[in-house]
Amino acid sequence: MNILEVKNLKIWDSQTGKGIITNSSFQLKQGSCLGIVGESGSGKSVTCRSIMRLNKPPLRQSGNILFKGEDLNTLSEKDMRRRRGKNLCMIMQSGMSAFDPSNVIGVHLHETLSEHFGWNKAQVAEKMGHAMRSVMLENPLEMMNKYPHQLSGGMLQRTMIALSIVLEPDIIIADEPTTALDAISQFEVVDQFVKLRKQMGSSIIFVSHDLGAVKKMADEVLVMKDGEIVDRGDIQSIFSESQHEFTKYIVSARMALSGNFNNLMRSV
């Protein structure tokens, strides 16, 4: 069963009339993970934001975004806002800039959770504390009283994951969640995502140009180039038997890189 069905999504710049996403259709199955790969500027992030209707003017969008059969594109702003966070949760590329730099991160957590569940501070601390420990963050209470610049990118990324655990959304949209991290934090964050999927059975859209992470996470993959979906398929077929030139190109580029790396490691 499809939890999300995007049909004929078009996104364009209303000032210049330039098309950004020309005509995209894809589905996300209940409990599965859809990877979106492609170069920078291929329209991955814009596609993600369009599902949550968070693209800012002058960007406009048309088409149907069916979430559990309901078209998000026709909802009122107020109804859409209730879906954000509660049903559709986003995890951003850079934890460092995702939280208000002038507030301790607890403020954002409290505002979000009291918006959706009406919880007070003690309830937020209890639920978040539990979720943060589950993503290997020690001393959650102390962390919640720290400012973003006092924490590392990986810690903030895992805080966002912890928040999404508490929110229990139907769909998690992760927009390049590992790109801004060092290799060790990348590994930990991907690890948390894998666990998150197992525990909660959420459906995930996982955008990345890190093919390794996508391979580990995704069941199906969309390959995007210049605002179009040029190739799609399940993870095995994309990585081993794709017929499309661009897919072959990025997979082989990745193989060449990791091949070099492996050779280097062996020679050391």
Partner 1 sequence: MGSYIIKRLISAIPLLFIISLITFGLINLSPMDPAKVVLEAQGVPKITEELIAQTKADLGMDKPFIIRYFDWVVACLHLDFGTSYVTGKPVWSLIGPAFLNTLKLTTVSSAAIIVLSILLGVACALTAGRLIDKSVRGLSFFLTAMPSYWLASLLIWYFSVHLDLLPTSGMASVEHYILPVTVITVSYVGIYFRFVRSSMLSNLNEDYVLYGRACGLSEWKVTMHILRNSLQVAVSIFCMAIPIILGSTVVIENVFAWPGLGSLSVRSILNRDFPIIQAYVLILAAAFVLFNTISDIINAAMNPKLRNGL
List interacting residues with partner 1 (CB under 8 A): 49, 52, 54, 56, 81-86, 89-90, 92-94, 97-103, 108, 111-112, 115-116, 147, 149, 160, 163
* 103, containing H or E segment: none
In the complex, least distance from residue 184 CB atom to partner 1, rounded to whole angstroms: 23
In the complex, least distance from residue 207 CB atom to partner 1, rounded to whole angstroms: 14
**Residue 170 or residue 231: which is nearer to partner 1 going by CB?**
170
**Does residue 162 contact residue 134 with C-beta atoms inside 8 Å?**
yes
Record the tokens describing residue 188, joined without a space. 């930990």
In the complex, least distance from residue 163 CB atom to partner 1, rounded to whole angstroms: 7
Record the tokens describing residue 238, joined without a space. 């994309």
In the complex, least distance from residue 96 CB atom to partner 1, rounded to whole angstroms: 8
**Residue 102 or residue 243: which is nearer to partner 1 going by CB?**
102
Q: How far apart are CA 124 and CA 112, in angstroms?
A: 10
Cα angle 225, 226, 229; round to 5: 45
Residue of 79, 166, 74, 177 lying closest to 124 (CA atoms): 166
| Residue 210, phi then psi, degrees to nearest 5 | -90, 95
In the complex, least distance from residue 244 CB atom to partner 1, rounded to whole angstroms: 32
**Residue 89 or residue 137: which is nearer to partner 1 going by CB?**
89
Order of all β-strands in the sheet with 19-29: 19-29, 2-13, 59-67, 70-71
In the complex, least distance from residue 209 CB atom to partner 1, rounded to whole angstroms: 18
**Residue 90 or residue 135: which is nearer to partner 1 going by CB?**
90
Pairing label, strands 220-225, 33-38: parallel
Cβ atoms within 10 Å of 200's Cβ, excluding its own: 15
At 168, which amino acid appears? Answer: E
**Residue 10 or residue 81: which is nearer to partner 1 going by CB?**
81
**Residue 125 or residue 230: which is nearer to partner 1 going by CB?**
125
